[in-house]
Structure formats: C-alpha cells, structure tokens
C-alpha cells in the first residue's frame, strides 16, 4: 500500500514539472488541448481562444529584424504576449507539442531607452518581473535589446543579431483583443 502511494506522488510531481511555464500555469492535460486552425488566416492558428499566432518551426531561425520581416510577409508582426495564460499556452505548444527546444523572438524591445521595454507595435509597456521574466532578467544591458521567450517559459533579453525561432501575430482578425 505504501509503495502505491509513493508511485502516485512521484507521478504527480512529474506532471507539475512538465506543465509549468515559468510561473504561468494552465491546464495540466496537454493531450486534451487543441489549437484551432480555422479562425485565423494561414499560416496562423488560434491560441488561447484570443490570439492568432504563427510559430516558426524546425530549421527556421532568424535574427530579430529578419524575423520581423518574415512576419510581414504573412501580413503580421512579431507577437505581443501580454497575458500570463497565453504565455503558458505558447510555451506548452512550443516545448511539449512541437518539441522545439530553444528561444523565440517576440515583439518587445528596449532599444530606444535601455531598461524601458515596450512592444514595438503598440509602444505600450511589456509586463516586467515575475511571472513573465526569468528572475534576474533582463540582464543584458545595452547588448541585449530584444525580447524572447526562453525555453524555460520566461521572457529574457537577447542580442538582436542572434538567430532564434520566432512567433508572429496576425492582428487583422483578433487584433482588438490583444494588439
């Protein structure tokens, strides 16, 4: 009887570790999730019932500016991620459904004023601190002025010349909600 309890406890711990994106948690049942491809224009998919995103996949990495250009080809821009639940959904999709281990450029920058992070599209403030940012970050000073989602599910700052995966957002369909 005691052994069964221990096994159950270990299983619970594993589930919790797998499904925490930074501190932005959501439903622990990955297998029941679906991402709707019918609402948003191709190649975007509806994530979190609110946002049309395109997530670059295997082999498609760009520096920050080239990623922004890539998004513009699909009439979008690098994504605005203001919501903790959306960040959790994105992280789970990238890391555990697409199995992409790496960093993802999104549309934030502090290039205009060091330490003052804004979304390039809206010029509104990027959420700071936990649960969005990796504790201790941003830490790159003027060497790292662009925003990415790290593979641990947190925001972190990166150098714009680095090549990473990236996330584009279509603002034409549901832009009034998140843009």
Q: Does 120 bind Ca ion (CB under 5 A)?
A: no
Residue of 77, 89, 110, 170 interacting with Ca ion (CB under 5 A): 110
Strand partners for 114: none
| Cβ nearer to Ca ion, comparing 103 with 145 | 145
Q: Does 145 bind Ca ion (CB under 5 A)?
A: yes
| Cβ nearer to Ca ion, comparing 75 with 141 | 141
Helix (H, G, I), strand (E, B) or coil at 171: helix
| Cβ nearer to Ca ion, comparing 89 with 110 | 110
Strand partners for 170: 52
Any idea what the Cα angle at residue 153 is, between residues 147 and 155, rounded to 5°? Answer: 20
Q: Does 109 bind Ca ion (CB under 5 A)?
A: no
Task: Give the count of beta carbons closer than 10 Å to the beta carbon of residue 40.
Answer: 22
Q: How far is CA 71 from CA 39, 54, 64, 167, in A?
A: 18, 8, 11, 8
CB of 138 to Ca ion, least distance (A): 6
| Cβ nearer to Ca ion, comparing 48 with 108 | 108
CB of 109 to Ca ion, least distance (A): 8
Stretch that binds Ca ion, among 58-66, 76-84, 93-101, 106-114 (CB under 5 A): 106-114
d(CA 175, CA 61): 25
| Cβ nearer to Ca ion, comparing 62 with 146 | 146
Is the Cβ–Cβ distance between 75 and 170 less than 8 Å?
yes
| Residues near Ca ion (CB under 5 A) | 110, 145
């Amino acid at each position: 009887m005691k052994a069964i309890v221990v096994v159950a406890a270990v299983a619970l711990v594993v589930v919790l570790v797998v499904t925490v994106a930074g501190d932005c948690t959501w439903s622990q049942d990955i297998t029941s999730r679906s991402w709707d491809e019918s609402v948003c224009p191709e190649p975007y998919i509806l994530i979190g019932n609110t946002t049309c995103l395109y997530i670059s996949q295997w082999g498609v990495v760009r520096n920050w500016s080239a990623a922004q250009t890539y998004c513009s080809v699909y009439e979008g821009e690098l994504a605005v991620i203001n919501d903790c639940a959306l960040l959790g959904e994105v992280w789970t999709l990238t890391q555990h459904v697409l199995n992409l281990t790496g960093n993802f450029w999104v549309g934030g920058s502090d290039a205009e004023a060091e330490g003052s992070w804004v979304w390039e599209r809206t010029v509104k403030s990027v959420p700071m601190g936990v649960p969005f940012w990796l504790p201790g970050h941003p830490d790159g000073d003027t060497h790292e002025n662009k925003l990415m989602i790290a593979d641990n599910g947190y925001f972190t700052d990166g150098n714009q010349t680095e090549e990473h995966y990236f996330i584009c957002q279509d603002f034409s369909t549901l832009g009034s909600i998140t843009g």
